[in-house]
Amino acid sequence: MKATVLGIVLAGAACGQPADPQPSFDAAEVHIFPRTSGPNLYARNGAVHGGRWEIKTATMVDLIRFAYGFDADKILAGPNWVELDRFDVTAKVPPDTGAETQKLMLQSLLRDRFKLVVKKENRPLPTYALVAGKKPLLKEANGSEQNGCRPETGSPGGGRGVLMTANANGTTTTINFGPDMMLHYMCRDVTMEEFAADMRSMFGASLGTNPVIDDTGIKGKWNFDLRYSLQFFGPVMPNMPERVSFADAVEKQLGLKLEERQVATPVLVIESVNRQPTGNPPGTAEALPPTPMPTEFEVASVKPTDPNTRNGRFQIQPGGRLVSEAMPLRFLVNRAFNTFNNDEVVGLPDSAANERYDITAKMPSGAPAISNADMEALAPMILSLLKDRFKLAYHTEERPVAAYTLVASRPRMKKADPNSRIFCRNMPAPPGAPPGSRLFKCQNVTMALFAERLQNQTPELNWPVVDATGLEGGWDFTVTFSMRQPAMFAGPGRGGDANPAAGVMPEASDPTGGYTIFEAIEKELGLKLEKQKRPMPVIVIDHIEPKPTEN
C-alpha cells in the first residue's frame, strides 16, 4: 500500500488535509462486523504478532481512540452510527514498528478508507474540583513516611476479604477490604495537588477520565486515611452495612469536598466520516494470511486448590502463560465455552460449583499474544484441557428456557433526534441512589436494539430479550435499577408472592431499596418484561470426571 499523507493534528485545524508524509500500513483489510450488539461484544485491540495487527469488533469511536489516544468521552460529534457499527481491521506492520508509529498508520487508514476528518478543540466538559470545607481534618506530615496514597495490601486476616488487581508486568496487587466492603487508603506526606492527581487511580473512586483539580488552597504536606465502600454491581445482601461513597468519605473524614465543574478540555471533533469503507485492494487477503490460533496448551499443570486458599485469580501473563488459581470447575467449563450464562451449560454435577483447581498452562511457542480480554481465543485451549484432564464429553441441543420479551404497556419515553448518536451505556448511578444501583442510559435507540442490550444487564436476563413493543424509531431514556435479587423483595407489604423470574412483578419497592430492572422498566419507561418459554441452544455435559488425571 502506498504511503499516504494526513494533516497534523492542531488545535482548531482539521485533520485530514495533506501535510507532512505520514506512515501507512504495508497492507490492511477492513471488514464490517455483522452484528452491533450481543454478549461479550467489545473492542479488542490486540498486540502486534508476526507483523500482524488485529483490531476486532471496534466501533468508529474505538478506532479513533486507538489512533489518536483520546478517551471515548472526548471524541465528539460525527454521524449517529459512530458508536453502533463495528469493524474488524487487520494490518501488516513492518518489524520493530513502535506504538506511536502504529497510531499514525491507523490514522492514515481511517483517512484513506473511511475519509475521516477530525479536528482538535477545547470544549467545556464536566470534571471534579477538590475544595476545602469549613474545617479540614488533616494531620501535618513530618516527612518521615513514604510519599503517596496506597491501599491496604497483603494477606487478609480477621474475616477480611481481598481484591486482586492485575498489573501490566504480570504481577498482582492484593487490596484488602473488610467484611463491610470498605477499602482503606493510607495517604502519607502528600500535598493536596498530589492527592487530587491520585484520586482517579484509587480503586472504585469513579471520578471519570478528566483530572481532578486541586482548588483547596491548602499548602504543605499531610498524612490522612480514607475509608470508603467498594462499589460493585452484585446483589445487595440483607443486613448489608450502609455504604460510604468516595465523595462522602472525602467530605466527612477529611473535611474536603468534591465539586463538579465545567472545564475547558481538549477534545477531538469528528467533522466527517464515511459509514462504508472503501474496498480492500486486490491482493490484500494474500498479503495477510490468517494466523492459526492454538487449540491446546503446550503444557499444563492441574491440581486441586489448597482448602486453606480463600482467594482466586484468572490471568494471562506476558509471554503466554495462563495462571488460574482457586477457580471452581464450573467457572473453567464456562470459560471453555466462552459463556457467562450458567443456564447455557447444563448437566454439570453440583460439586462443580465448589471443587476448585489451580492451573498453570503455557501456550505454544510462537502463538499470537492473547490478552486477558480475549476469552474467545483462549476458550478452545481450555476446552482441550478439560477433555484431556477431566475427560469432558458434551453435545449441544435446543431446550426450552426461561427468556423474556419486551412489550409496551404505557410508554413514556422521549422521541430521539434522529441525527444524535445511537448508544446504550452503563453509567454510575446518580448521587443518592440506593446501594448497588446502576444507571443504563440509551440515546436514539430502537426498541429492538434496547432489547438486545438488556441481555446480561442482570443475572435474570441471561438469554436474548425479544422486542415485541411495536414501537418504531429511536428513543431517549435512562433506567436506574438495583441489582438486588428478586427474592429479596418478598416480605410484609411487598407482595410475598412476587417473583419477576416467573413473570410476576413485585409491589412498589421500598424507597431506600431501589427498583429491580423489571420494576424500573415498567415504572420509568412504561414497558414490561414478560417471561416466556423459548427454545435455545444449550451445551449438555454428558460426562466429566470429578478429579483430573495426574500431571
pLDDT tens for each residue of 53-62: 999 999 999 9
Domain limits, the chain: 4-116+273-287, 126-264, 299-390, 401-538
- Residue of 81 and 18 predicted with greater confidence: 81
- Judged against a pLDDT cut of 90, whether residue 501 lies above it is answered with no
pLDDT confidence tier of residue 437, bands split at 50, 70 and 90: confident
Q: Which DSSP helix (H) or strand (E) runs through 127?
A: strand 117-132
Distance between CA atoms of 375 and 248, rounded to whole angstroms? 37
Q: What is the pTM of this model?
A: 0.81
Grid cell, residue 188, equals: 502519607
Predicted confidence at residue 1, as pLDDT, reads 35
Residue 185, phi then psi, degrees to nearest 5: -105, 135
- Judged against a pLDDT cut of 60, whether residue 510 lies above it is answered with no
- Judged against a pLDDT cut of 50, whether residue 387 lies above it is answered with yes
Q: What is the pLDDT of residues 408-425, one digit of tens each?
A: 999 999 999 999 999 999
The residues, ordered by sequence, that sit 6+ positions from 189 with a Cβ below 8 Å of its Cβ are 141, 143, 144, 145, 146, 147, 148, 221, 222, 223
Predicted confidence at residue 33, as pLDDT, reads 92
Predicted confidence at residue 308, as pLDDT, reads 85
Predicted confidence at residue 417, as pLDDT, reads 97
Residues 220 and 103: beta-carbon distance below 8 Å: no
Task: Give which of 257, 267, 252, 228 is closest to 128, Cα–Cα.
Answer: 257
Strand partners, 534: 401
What average pLDDT does range 322-326 have in this prediction? 91
Name the H helices within 346-462. Answer: 375-389, 447-454
Predicted confidence at residue 20, as pLDDT, reads 55
- Residue of 511 and 289 predicted with greater confidence: 289
- Judged against a pLDDT cut of 60, whether residue 378 lies above it is answered with yes
Q: What is the pLDDT of residues 200-220, one digit of tens each?
A: 888 888 888 889 999 999 999
Say which range, 31-45, 328-342, 458-472, 490-504, has the weakest mean pLDDT: 490-504
Predicted confidence at residue 231, as pLDDT, reads 60
Distance between CA atoms of 225 and 454, rounded to whole angstroms? 39
The residues, ordered by sequence, that sit 6+ positions from 198 with a Cβ below 8 Å of its Cβ are 148, 149, 187, 190
Angle among Cα 225, 229, 234 to the nearest 5 degrees reads: 155
Grid cell, residue 547, equals: 478429579
Distance between CA atoms of 39 and 18, rounded to whole angstroms? 41
Grid cell, residue 521, equals: 422498566
- Judged against a pLDDT cut of 70, whether residue 400 lies above it is answered with yes
- Residue of 48 and 237 predicted with greater confidence: 48
What average pLDDT does range 170-190 have in this prediction? 73
Say what percent of the chain tops pLDDT 90: 60
Cell 505520514 identifies what position? Answer: 22
- Judged against a pLDDT cut of 80, whether residue 6 lies above it is answered with no
pLDDT confidence tier of residue 514, bands split at 50, 70 and 90: confident
From residue 387, alpha-carbon distances to 300, 391, 428, 541 in Å are 13, 5, 41, 11
Distance between CA atoms of 429 and 517, rounded to whole angstroms? 13
pLDDT confidence tier of residue 534, bands split at 50, 70 and 90: very high
From residue 236, alpha-carbon distances to 231, 232, 243, 455, 457 in Å are 11, 9, 11, 20, 15
Predicted confidence at residue 340, as pLDDT, reads 87
Predicted confidence at residue 242, as pLDDT, reads 65
Q: What is the DSSP letter of 427?
A: E
Q: DSSP states of 162-207 as a string? A: EEEEE-TTS-EEEEEE-TT-EEEEEEEEE-HHHHHHHGGGSTT---
- Judged against a pLDDT cut of 80, whether residue 166 lies above it is answered with no
pLDDT confidence tier of residue 488, bands split at 50, 70 and 90: very low
User: 3-class DSSP state for residue 329?
Assistant: helix
Predicted confidence at residue 158, as pLDDT, reads 44
